[in-house]
Structure 1
Amino acid sequence: MASVLVLGGTSWLGGLIAHDAVVRGHDVTCLARGESGHAPANVTFVEADRSRRGAYDDVLDRRWDLVIDVSRQPGHVRSAVEALGGVSSHWTFVSTGSVYADQSVALTEESPVLAPHPHDDADPEHYGEAKVACEQAVSALRHHLIVRAGLIGGPGDPSDRLGYYVSRFASAGADPVLVPGDVAQPMQVVDVRDLAAFVLHAAESGATGVVHGVGEQTTVGELVRRSAEAAGFTGRCVEADPGWLRSHRVEEWMGPRSLPLWLPFSHRGMGMMDDRRALDLGLARRPVDSTLRDVLVDERTRGLDRPRRAGLTRADELKLLADLRT
């Protein structure tokens, strides 16, 4: 049994990491504000705001075998390393493929990264640069592992990206659905449950350095097709050219009025992240069809037609479909 400190542990990925650590028999503590959700059962929860002095005072009285941090704010990571670096044996930081300077090409762990964000706090527009700064802080520790995650999907996804198509297909029935026309665009999606298990396994094994936490390489067209199959869709997928979509103010990737998973050429490397080191370190991935079926169950529970953080409303989509036919 190891002593495990999860810095976070109340949000989606962090919560699953903490849950898995409990299931594996570890003594688990989560330190967080608790605003993103509740800590899993059978963990010790320490409420703390990492932006404030003394945030780590309540966890300095013991040695931690494993520290796992999922933060995106450089100041949070720097302060944690300064306070806890001397009482931890191994440190894992969950980063992102967004750290790479050129995301238009296939990516390895050695690909050049962006310049680090210079400040303690960063807005979402500087997400990649902020994660680079976080990585730099963690790299000062002797035994550290950086897991650069690709697109994450699965039940409970707060971004609503992977669930968009399977839920739209399920609600559309036999009616048409608008999809990106760039069907050959590379894409990788890792199930959040597989990523959480890998992060914990790699930490337990004492792995160090940098590794990608990514799904199998596929395409947007294949993911859309499999989503339609999972939902039992009997209608027609209407493909729209990227230029047409942009001219009609449809955004790529995520966010309001978007077609999720569709990427500009400048970011296609997010679907071409090398997974060889991850597989060598024990990354195990369930079939994407299994993930999509579970996502659909989750989407039905949360409401197929609920307001979403990513995708088109059905009303917007129907108007675009009508415009596409004229």
Structure 2
Amino acid sequence: MTQVLVLGGTGWLSGRIARRWRDAGADVTCLARGARPAPEGTTPLAGDRDDPHVFDDLRDRKWDEVVDISSRADHAAAAVDALGDRAEHWTYVSSMSVYSDDVTDRLDESGARHAPAQPGDEYDYAAQKVAAEDAVITLAERAFIVRPGLIVGAGDPSDRFGYWATAFARAGVEPVLVPELAGRSAQVIDVDDLAAFLTAGLRHGIVNAIGDVHPLVELLSGIRAAAGHTGELLEASDEWLEAHGVQYWMGERSLPLWLPADMPGFMRRDNSAYRAAGGSFRPLETTIRAVLDDERARGLERERRAGLRRDDELALIDRLTSS
């Protein structure tokens, strides 16, 4: 029986990976802090990766596959150091944030990366992922590094893609505030497509895992149609939004998927290696419908990690239309 160790296995993506390996007949162990349950049918093992002895109970086993999605380089390096010689294959889920070039159109896996994080550096997500990749690359032909872009789907804890389903659903016949749309693109991958790719076989090398490029206006139009929104789309310029304290991309008081104009390549990466390796995409409409159903189930007025509250959005709309 295939022996799989998922470092995590209780989160949004890692839980799906653990379940898919389980469903494929593997013996799956999930090493996690224990705050959330591991998927049924897997073996949970409680452990804090800040603990230098966290891997002690795993060193005496051989692993056909180890999967790590950590965004801390010290955690990734410690896992490789402890278990690298016990693993036949190692999958690391990195990020396309590792690329330092956000301008080039259709950048592939050869693109230059940011400098890796060094011990003692202030936390920086991209630099941490680069340093984690460097640790995994030492496993040479046993390593597989996947660089997803924006991962979307039901249950997304970042609330980025889901914000737009909420924004259109709650507005109804009223207006929705959007950034300037001309010339902007969006590129996403459904979490279940990514999980399927990560568990379909033991691949090697480095792959950008991201969907096809869509004009942002078309993506938002698809979400809007699914939500039944019939109100007006009110576009605000980058300068106006920045002046009124609205953030790019993510976080509190943001407009998700909106990026600075000097980052045209960030959502236009090359995905040909993913396709060549057997990666597939469900219809975007299927993802949109699943996200919309999930947002309605979780509550359109709930607290969110990204986007605008409706009262704040309406206040901004009032300022925009009265200026």
Shorter-chain TM-score category? over 0.9
1: CA distance, partners of 2:263 / 2:42:
38
SS in 1 for 2:266: helix
Match of 2:129 in 1: 131
Match of 2:71 in 1: 72
Match among 221, 233, 242 for residue 225 of structure 1 = 221
Structure 1 residue 133: Cα displacement: 0.2
Match of 1:157 in 2: 156
The yes-or-no answer on 1:180 pairing with 2:174 is: no
2: CA distance, partners of 1:269 / 1:88:
36
The yes-or-no answer on 1:315 pairing with 2:311 is: yes
User: Any residues of structure 2 matched to 1:92-111 within 5 Å, and which?
Assistant: 92-106=91-105, 107-111=107-111
Aligned 8 A contact 1:160 1:310 in 2: yes
Structure 1 residue 187: Cα displacement: 1.5
Aligned length: 320
**Structure 2 segments unaligned to the other structure (5+ residues):** none
SS in 1 for 2:199: helix
Distance 1:164 1:81, change over 3 A: same
Structure 1 residue 167: Cα displacement: 1.2
User: Any residues of structure 2 matched to 1:293-308 within 5 Å, and which?
Assistant: 293-308=289-304
Q: Which runs of 4+ in 1 moved over 6 A?
A: none
Q: Deviations over 1:194-227 (max 9, x none)?
A: 01111112xx2x3211101101111221111111
Structure 1 residue 38: Cα displacement: 2.0
2: CA distance, partners of 1:266 / 1:148:
22
Aligned 8 A contact 1:73 1:121 in 2: no
Structure 1 residue 184: Cα displacement: 2.5
2: CA distance, partners of 1:286 / 1:147:
19
Match of 1:251 in 2: 247
SS in 2 for 1:300: helix
Distance 1:297 1:209, change over 3 A: same
Q: Deviations over 1:157-180 (max 9, x none)?
A: 000000111111111111111111
Structure 1 residue 24: Cα displacement: 1.2
Q: Deviations over 1:131-182 (max 9, x none)?
A: 0000000000031010001001000000000011111111111111111113
Structure 1 residue 244: Cα displacement: 1.2
Structure 1 residue 238: Cα displacement: 1.1
Structure 1 residue 122: Cα displacement: 5.6
SS in 2 for 1:297: helix
Match of 2:139 in 1: 141
Match among 271, 274, 277 for residue 273 of structure 2 = 277
Q: Deviations over 1:55-75 (max 9, x none)?
A: 111222211001110001011
Distance 1:122 1:131, change over 3 A: farther
Amino acid at match of 2:113: V
Structure 1 residue 121: Cα displacement: 7.6
The yes-or-no answer on 1:119 pairing with 2:119 is: yes
Aligned 8 A contact 1:5 1:67 in 2: yes
Match of 2:14 in 1: 14
Structure 1 residue 243: Cα displacement: 1.4
Structure 1 residue 284: Cα displacement: 1.0
1: CA distance, partners of 2:217 / 2:195:
27
2: CA distance, partners of 1:230 / 1:38:
33
User: Any residues of structure 2 matched to 1:17-28 within 5 Å, and which?
Assistant: 17-28=17-28
Structure 1 residue 95: Cα displacement: 0.4
Match among 270, 282, 287 for residue 286 of structure 1 = 282
Q: Normalization by structure 1: what TM-score?
A: 0.95
**Structure 1 segments unaligned to the other structure (5+ residues):** none
SS in 2 for 1:270: coil
Match of 1:3 in 2: 3
Q: Normalization by structure 2: what TM-score?
A: 0.96
Distance 1:301 1:121, change over 3 A: farther
Amino acid at match of 1:170: A
